[in-house]
Amino acid sequence: MILITGGCGYIGSHIVKLLSEAGEQVIVYDNLSQGHKSALLHNEELVVGDICDPVALKYLFETHDIEIVIHMAALVNAAESVGKSDEYERVNDLGSRRVWEAATTSGVKIFLYASSA
């Protein structure tokens, strides 16, 4: 199973679409703050959650057989980041570390981090 964080966002949803059409089993983890559930076209499983929440991430990895993580969840508006630097650091730095920690703790061997920011 492949986990796509931020899979309801613009780029993430395109990755989800390509993988689903290729026959891969995909699960999407997104807080829907910038993405939209309607971006999922193939009935992929959607788990709504925060990448900064280690308890939710631990549960996600414990309840799904995730082998690959493609981490796309991030805040990406450069102009907005100036006024909300603490929130951008929390999500983009802490959140990414939390996803990495949950993935590696659960034995995930392939972790792809990509960003459009």
β-strands 2-5, 45-48 pairing: unpaired
Higher-pLDDT residue of 113, 87: 113
What does the pLDDT read at residue 87? 83
Alpha-carbon gap, residue 10 to 49, rounded angstroms: 18
Domains of the chain: 2-113 (3.40.50.720)
pLDDT in tens, 12-52: 999 999 999 999 999 999 999 988 888 888 789 999 999 99
What does the pLDDT read at residue 117? 60
pTM: 0.91
